Copies of this chain bind each other. A is one copy, B any other.
């Protein structure tokens, strides 16, 4: 709910000088009491102001109910991202699986010698290569990884909503958060469906369910 100019003014007056009566507020605005009655009703109903008989209006201190869109659009990738775990292209599939368990992540990012992103390894990729192969200690990950340009990524300043949309569209569990250096993509973070789930929970936390 957007407040109009007069409601914002009333809110400022009550914040500074409350408790204050409706009559006094009207005088301050050079208006009659009846004119501001709807505004006071709206501010009270929306939770910005509290009113007490024979005392007047005072600032509730409660945060007013934020609109859903405002809350969701304010969530950015950089506020929810996790640390990325990167491996080199020559690492064996066996060692990559060990790394995945050690770091307890579902996705590893593969980088070249300049530390630029070249591939992605999911649990699914590693499981598939286990299944058909007994010599996973001899297979380097660059053979089995998903490679550029088939990697879907996001930026720190993207909304979490955009990142979530990409994961659902592409049916993937995680996105690298990158900085485009012109000569390549530097991996600076990781966004997963776990991050989105935590964000979903925080929407409720913020509003004290």
Counting CB contacts under 8 A, is A143 at the interface?
no
> Which of A124, A130, A193, A209 gathers the greatest number of chain B CB atoms within 10 Å?
A193
The interface on chain A, measured as residues whose beta carbon lies within 8 A of the other chain's beta carbons, has a size of 53
A73–B209 CB distance below 8 A: yes
**A176-209 interface with B by 8 A CB criterion:** 192-194, 196-201, 203-204, 206-207, 209
Task: Report if A126 contacts B (CB, 8 A).
Answer: yes
CB of A131, distance to nearest CB on chain B (Å): 6
Is A164 close to B, CB under 8 A?
yes
Q: Which stretch of A8-16, A38-46, A51-59, A83-91 is in the interface?
A: A38-46
Interface residues of A (CB under 8 A from B): 1, 34, 37-42, 45-46, 65-69, 71-73, 94, 97-98, 100-101, 106, 123-124, 126-128, 130-131, 134, 160-161, 164-165, 167-168, 173, 192-194, 196-201, 203-204, 206-207, 209
